[in-house]
Amino acid sequence: MALDSDQVGYERRGPVALVTIDRTERRNAVDGPTAELLAAAHDRFEADDDARVMVLAGAGEEAFCAGADLKALATLGPRLDSPDGPLGFTRRTPAKPAIAAISGWCVAGGLELALWCDLRIATETARLGFTERRFGVPLIDGGTQRLPRIVGLGRALDLILTGRIVDAAEAHALGLVTEVVAPGGHLDRALELAEGLAAFPQETLLADRRAAIEGLGLPLADGLALEAGAGPATYAAALAGAQRFAGGEGRGGAGAGA
Protein backbone atom coordinates (compact mmCIF):
# COMPACT_ATOMS: atom_id res chain seq x y z
CA MET A 1 0.00 0.00 0.00
CA ALA A 2 1.40 3.40 -0.94
CA LEU A 3 2.13 5.94 1.76
CA ASP A 4 -0.36 8.45 0.38
CA SER A 5 -2.33 9.25 3.54
CA ASP A 6 -1.85 11.78 6.31
CA GLN A 7 -2.65 9.06 8.87
CA VAL A 8 0.94 7.79 8.80
CA GLY A 9 3.88 10.01 8.03
CA TYR A 10 7.20 8.75 6.69
CA GLU A 11 10.15 11.10 6.67
CA ARG A 12 13.85 10.52 6.15
CA ARG A 13 16.07 12.56 8.42
CA GLY A 14 19.53 11.61 7.25
CA PRO A 15 20.05 7.95 8.16
CA VAL A 16 16.89 7.87 10.30
CA ALA A 17 13.37 7.00 9.11
CA LEU A 18 10.75 8.81 11.18
CA VAL A 19 7.35 7.08 11.12
CA THR A 20 4.52 9.05 12.73
CA ILE A 21 0.99 7.86 13.52
CA ASP A 22 -1.17 10.93 12.93
CA ARG A 23 -4.73 10.45 14.18
CA THR A 24 -4.72 12.92 17.04
CA GLU A 25 -8.52 13.08 17.11
CA ARG A 26 -8.45 9.39 18.16
CA ARG A 27 -5.33 9.60 20.36
CA ASN A 28 -3.42 8.05 17.45
CA ALA A 29 -5.44 4.84 17.70
CA VAL A 30 -5.02 2.48 14.76
CA ASP A 31 -7.81 1.38 12.42
CA GLY A 32 -7.52 -0.97 9.44
CA PRO A 33 -6.31 1.60 6.88
CA THR A 34 -3.78 2.98 9.36
CA ALA A 35 -2.45 -0.52 10.03
CA GLU A 36 -1.96 -1.01 6.29
CA LEU A 37 -0.03 2.24 6.12
CA LEU A 38 2.15 1.23 9.06
CA ALA A 39 2.98 -2.04 7.32
CA ALA A 40 3.90 -0.09 4.18
CA ALA A 41 6.10 2.25 6.21
CA HIS A 42 7.93 -0.70 7.72
CA ASP A 43 8.44 -2.23 4.26
CA ARG A 44 9.87 1.07 3.04
CA PHE A 45 12.26 1.26 5.98
CA GLU A 46 13.45 -2.31 5.54
CA ALA A 47 14.02 -1.83 1.79
CA ASP A 48 16.08 1.35 2.20
CA ASP A 49 19.70 0.48 2.96
CA ASP A 50 20.46 4.10 3.78
CA ALA A 51 17.77 4.19 6.50
CA ARG A 52 19.67 2.64 9.39
CA VAL A 53 17.31 3.28 12.33
CA MET A 54 13.56 3.81 12.55
CA VAL A 55 11.91 6.15 15.06
CA LEU A 56 8.22 5.48 15.72
CA ALA A 57 6.20 8.36 17.16
CA GLY A 58 2.67 9.59 17.62
CA ALA A 59 1.60 13.04 16.45
CA GLY A 60 1.08 15.64 19.16
CA GLU A 61 1.82 15.43 22.86
CA GLU A 62 -1.35 13.74 24.19
CA ALA A 63 -0.67 10.20 23.03
CA PHE A 64 1.91 7.95 21.44
CA CYS A 65 -0.86 5.51 20.52
CA ALA A 66 -4.04 4.37 22.27
CA GLY A 67 -3.99 0.99 20.52
CA ALA A 68 -6.70 -0.32 18.23
CA ASP A 69 -9.45 2.13 17.36
CA LEU A 70 -12.38 0.54 19.19
CA LYS A 71 -14.86 2.56 17.11
CA ALA A 72 -13.44 0.99 13.95
CA LEU A 73 -12.55 -2.45 15.29
CA ALA A 74 -14.30 -4.20 12.40
CA THR A 75 -11.77 -2.70 9.99
CA LEU A 76 -9.02 -4.60 11.81
CA GLY A 77 -10.85 -7.93 11.66
CA PRO A 78 -9.28 -9.01 8.35
CA ARG A 79 -5.84 -8.51 9.88
CA LEU A 80 -6.30 -10.82 12.87
CA ASP A 81 -4.61 -13.72 11.07
CA SER A 82 -2.11 -11.54 9.21
CA PRO A 83 1.52 -12.67 9.50
CA ASP A 84 2.37 -8.97 9.78
CA GLY A 85 0.16 -8.38 12.84
CA PRO A 86 -3.15 -6.60 13.37
CA LEU A 87 -1.57 -3.19 13.99
CA GLY A 88 0.63 -3.22 10.91
CA PHE A 89 3.96 -4.93 11.60
CA THR A 90 3.81 -6.23 15.16
CA ARG A 91 4.43 -9.88 14.24
CA ARG A 92 7.59 -9.03 12.33
CA THR A 93 11.05 -8.53 13.76
CA PRO A 94 12.81 -5.55 12.20
CA ALA A 95 16.21 -6.22 10.68
CA LYS A 96 17.45 -2.83 11.91
CA PRO A 97 17.06 -0.95 15.21
CA ALA A 98 13.85 0.90 16.07
CA ILE A 99 13.18 3.46 18.80
CA ALA A 100 9.79 4.53 20.18
CA ALA A 101 9.36 8.23 21.03
CA ILE A 102 6.57 8.29 23.62
CA SER A 103 4.55 11.19 24.98
CA GLY A 104 1.30 10.86 26.92
CA TRP A 105 -0.83 7.75 26.55
CA CYS A 106 0.91 4.58 25.42
CA VAL A 107 -1.68 1.93 26.14
CA ALA A 108 -3.19 -1.31 24.86
CA GLY A 109 -1.92 -2.02 21.35
CA GLY A 110 0.03 1.23 21.50
CA LEU A 111 2.17 -0.27 24.25
CA GLU A 112 2.62 -3.35 22.09
CA LEU A 113 3.88 -1.12 19.26
CA ALA A 114 6.34 0.48 21.69
CA LEU A 115 7.50 -2.96 22.87
CA TRP A 116 8.18 -3.88 19.24
CA CYS A 117 10.93 -1.25 19.26
CA ASP A 118 14.41 -1.90 20.64
CA LEU A 119 14.46 1.21 22.82
CA ARG A 120 11.79 3.50 24.28
CA ILE A 121 12.25 7.20 25.09
CA ALA A 122 9.36 8.62 27.13
CA THR A 123 8.44 12.00 28.52
CA GLU A 124 7.59 12.53 32.18
CA THR A 125 3.94 12.71 31.07
CA ALA A 126 3.91 9.20 29.62
CA ARG A 127 1.38 6.67 30.91
CA LEU A 128 1.76 3.02 29.90
CA GLY A 129 -0.44 -0.01 30.41
CA PHE A 130 -2.54 -2.80 28.95
CA THR A 131 -5.90 -1.10 29.44
CA GLU A 132 -7.64 -3.64 27.21
CA ARG A 133 -7.67 -5.94 30.24
CA ARG A 134 -10.64 -3.92 31.51
CA PHE A 135 -12.88 -4.65 28.54
CA GLY A 136 -11.79 -8.11 27.52
CA VAL A 137 -9.64 -7.61 24.41
CA PRO A 138 -6.59 -9.92 24.27
CA LEU A 139 -3.01 -8.91 23.63
CA ILE A 140 -2.37 -10.14 20.08
CA ASP A 141 0.29 -7.70 18.87
CA GLY A 142 3.23 -9.26 20.67
CA GLY A 143 2.73 -7.89 24.17
CA THR A 144 2.60 -11.23 25.96
CA GLN A 145 5.89 -12.27 24.35
CA ARG A 146 7.92 -9.07 24.22
CA LEU A 147 7.16 -7.61 27.65
CA PRO A 148 8.52 -10.62 29.62
CA ARG A 149 11.65 -10.49 27.49
CA ILE A 150 12.15 -6.85 28.43
CA VAL A 151 11.19 -6.68 32.12
CA GLY A 152 11.05 -10.33 33.22
CA LEU A 153 8.07 -12.63 33.68
CA GLY A 154 7.01 -11.52 37.16
CA ARG A 155 6.85 -7.82 36.33
CA ALA A 156 5.26 -8.57 32.97
CA LEU A 157 2.48 -10.63 34.53
CA ASP A 158 1.75 -7.78 36.94
CA LEU A 159 1.04 -5.44 34.02
CA ILE A 160 -0.64 -8.04 31.80
CA LEU A 161 -3.02 -9.40 34.44
CA THR A 162 -3.93 -6.21 36.29
CA GLY A 163 -4.10 -3.82 33.36
CA ARG A 164 -2.79 -1.10 35.65
CA ILE A 165 -1.24 2.05 34.25
CA VAL A 166 2.30 3.00 35.22
CA ASP A 167 3.84 6.44 34.96
CA ALA A 168 7.14 7.15 33.27
CA ALA A 169 9.17 6.95 36.48
CA GLU A 170 7.88 3.48 37.36
CA ALA A 171 8.20 2.33 33.77
CA HIS A 172 11.84 3.39 33.83
CA ALA A 173 12.43 1.60 37.14
CA LEU A 174 10.90 -1.57 35.67
CA GLY A 175 13.18 -1.39 32.63
CA LEU A 176 10.17 -0.87 30.36
CA VAL A 177 11.35 2.61 29.37
CA THR A 178 14.97 3.24 28.38
CA GLU A 179 15.10 6.93 29.27
CA VAL A 180 12.76 9.63 30.62
CA VAL A 181 12.95 13.18 29.28
CA ALA A 182 11.18 16.47 29.90
CA PRO A 183 7.79 17.05 28.24
CA GLY A 184 8.21 17.73 24.54
CA GLY A 185 11.74 16.32 24.41
CA HIS A 186 10.96 12.73 23.41
CA LEU A 187 11.26 13.07 19.65
CA ASP A 188 14.46 15.11 19.65
CA ARG A 189 16.07 12.67 22.08
CA ALA A 190 14.93 9.62 20.07
CA LEU A 191 16.29 11.16 16.87
CA GLU A 192 19.57 12.03 18.60
CA LEU A 193 19.93 8.47 19.85
CA ALA A 194 18.98 7.05 16.45
CA GLU A 195 21.60 9.19 14.72
CA GLY A 196 24.18 7.94 17.21
CA LEU A 197 23.33 4.32 16.45
CA ALA A 198 23.39 5.04 12.72
CA ALA A 199 26.91 6.48 13.03
CA PHE A 200 28.37 3.26 14.41
CA PRO A 201 29.86 0.64 12.04
CA GLN A 202 26.73 -1.20 10.96
CA GLU A 203 27.93 -4.70 10.16
CA THR A 204 29.00 -5.50 13.70
CA LEU A 205 26.16 -3.53 15.33
CA LEU A 206 23.57 -5.53 13.39
CA ALA A 207 25.37 -8.81 14.07
CA ASP A 208 25.40 -8.16 17.82
CA ARG A 209 21.76 -7.07 17.79
CA ARG A 210 20.74 -10.18 15.87
CA ALA A 211 22.66 -12.49 18.24
CA ALA A 212 21.00 -10.90 21.29
CA ILE A 213 17.49 -11.16 19.83
CA GLU A 214 17.79 -14.64 18.32
CA GLY A 215 19.78 -16.04 21.23
CA LEU A 216 17.21 -15.12 23.85
CA GLY A 217 15.59 -18.31 25.10
CA LEU A 218 18.25 -20.62 23.65
CA PRO A 219 20.39 -22.78 25.93
CA LEU A 220 23.58 -20.92 26.78
CA ALA A 221 25.76 -23.18 24.61
CA ASP A 222 23.52 -22.60 21.60
CA GLY A 223 23.45 -18.87 22.22
CA LEU A 224 27.23 -18.74 22.46
CA ALA A 225 27.50 -20.68 19.20
CA LEU A 226 25.14 -18.20 17.55
CA GLU A 227 27.25 -15.31 18.79
CA ALA A 228 30.48 -17.01 17.71
CA GLY A 229 29.18 -17.29 14.16
CA ALA A 230 29.36 -13.53 13.84
CA GLY A 231 33.14 -13.59 14.40
CA PRO A 232 34.23 -14.98 11.03
CA ALA A 233 31.36 -13.24 9.25
CA THR A 234 32.39 -9.80 10.50
CA TYR A 235 36.13 -10.34 10.81
CA ALA A 236 37.12 -7.97 8.03
CA ALA A 237 34.90 -5.20 9.39
CA ALA A 238 36.14 -5.80 12.93
CA LEU A 239 39.79 -5.71 11.83
CA ALA A 240 39.26 -2.44 10.00
CA GLY A 241 37.47 -0.99 13.03
CA ALA A 242 40.23 -2.06 15.40
CA GLN A 243 42.78 -0.38 13.16
CA ARG A 244 40.74 2.83 13.16
CA PHE A 245 40.52 2.74 16.97
CA ALA A 246 44.29 2.19 17.21
CA GLY A 247 44.62 5.31 15.08
CA GLY A 248 42.57 7.33 17.56
CA GLU A 249 38.98 7.02 16.27
CA GLY A 250 36.17 6.34 18.74
CA ARG A 251 38.09 6.93 21.95
CA GLY A 252 36.72 8.52 25.09
CA GLY A 253 34.10 5.96 26.08
CA ALA A 254 31.02 7.88 24.92
CA GLY A 255 28.12 5.89 23.51
CA ALA A 256 25.46 6.75 20.98
CA GLY A 257 23.67 9.99 21.75
CA ALA A 258 25.79 10.69 24.82
Q: Is 25 a catalytic residue?
A: no
Catalytic, out of 132, 203, 227, 249: 132
Q: How far apart are CA 79 and CA 74, in angstroms?
A: 10
> How many Cβ atoms from other residues are within 10 Å of residue 6's Cβ?
10
Main-chain dihedrals φ then ψ at residue 122, nearest 5 degrees? -130, 145
Distances 253 to 54, 75, 257 between C-alpha atoms, Å? 25, 49, 12
Cβ atoms of 107 and 66 within 8 Å: the answer is yes
Pick the catalytic residue: 112, 203, 214, 249? 112
Please give the Cα distance from 115 to 99 (Å, whole number): 9
* Distance, CA of 84 to CA of 247 (rounded, Å): 45
Query: Strand order of the sheet with strand 166-167?
Result: 63-65, 105-107, 127-129, 166-167
DSSP letter for each residue of 195-209:
HHHHHS-HHHHHHHH
16-21 and 8-13: which strand pairing?
antiparallel
User: Cβ contacts of residue 101 below 8 Å, gap of 6+?
Assistant: 55, 56, 57, 64, 121, 186, 187, 189, 190, 191
Number of Cβ within 10 Å of residue 26's Cβ equals: 18
Would residue 214 show up in a list of annotated catalytic residues for this protein?
Answer: no
Give ∠ CA 154-160-165 in degrees, rounded to 5. Answer: 105
Residues labelled catalytic: 112, 132
